[in-house]
């Protein structure tokens, strides 16, 4: 009956938040490096979109950093994280659906990148709501 996920918690004395920041930093650094490598390959005439596949491993690192943060946190932090994800999802997905439907019926064309901003804003709102709830 483990409630703190001790079996998955490394022996490091760093907090889950610190480990998350380190892993996320590594993922972002890897993304920037592979992005520049992909752009260099493109400008050298090697492939069109294919060099961008080089950035995929960094996406896996970024996803792992978030999942590991959840797993290594204690049960209360997991509750707060879970709630913030749910709120973010509940806010972000309908907004993207509405934007997509509007576009289908003559609305303005939006860049895919806006989806990232919407989902991250939803997560931020969820984090704020969750932290206020348990203050």
Partner 1 sequence: MRNDVKARRAERRWSQAELGERLGVSRQTIIAIESGKYDPSLPLAFKLAAVFEVRIEDLFTPTPTE
Which string of b and e fits 53-80 if b means at least 16 CB within 10 Å?
Answer: ebbeebeebbeebbebbeebbeeebbeb
Of these, 42, 55, 66, 79, which contacts partner 1 (CB under 8 A)? 79
Residue 4 in contact with partner 1, rule: CB under 8 A: yes
* Per-position x/- string for 57-76, each x denoting binding to partner 1 as judged by CB under 8 A, each - no binding: -----------------xxx
CB 85 within 8 A of CB 126: yes
* Per-position x/- string for 7-26, each x denoting binding to partner 1 as judged by CB under 8 A, each - no binding: --------x-----------
Chain positions contacting partner 1, by CB under 8 A: 1-4, 6, 15, 74-77, 79, 133-135
């Amino acid at each position: 009956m483990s409630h703190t996920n001790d079996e998955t918690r490394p022996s490091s004395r760093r907090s889950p938040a610190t480990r998350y920041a380190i892993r996320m930093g590594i993922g972002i650094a890897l993304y920037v490096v592979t992005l520049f490598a992909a752009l260099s390959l493109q400008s050298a005439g090697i492939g069109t979109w294919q060099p961008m596949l080089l950035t995929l491993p960094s996406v896996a690192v970024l996803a792992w950093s978030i999942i590991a943060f959840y797993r290594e946190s204690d049960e209360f932090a997991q509750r707060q994280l879970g709630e913030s994800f749910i709120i973010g999802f509940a806010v972000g997905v309908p907004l993207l659906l509405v934007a997509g439907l509007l576009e289908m019926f003559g609305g303005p064309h939006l860049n895919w990148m806006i989806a990232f901003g919407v989902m991250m804003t939803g997560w931020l709102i969820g984090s704020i709501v969750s932290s206020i709830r348990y203050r």
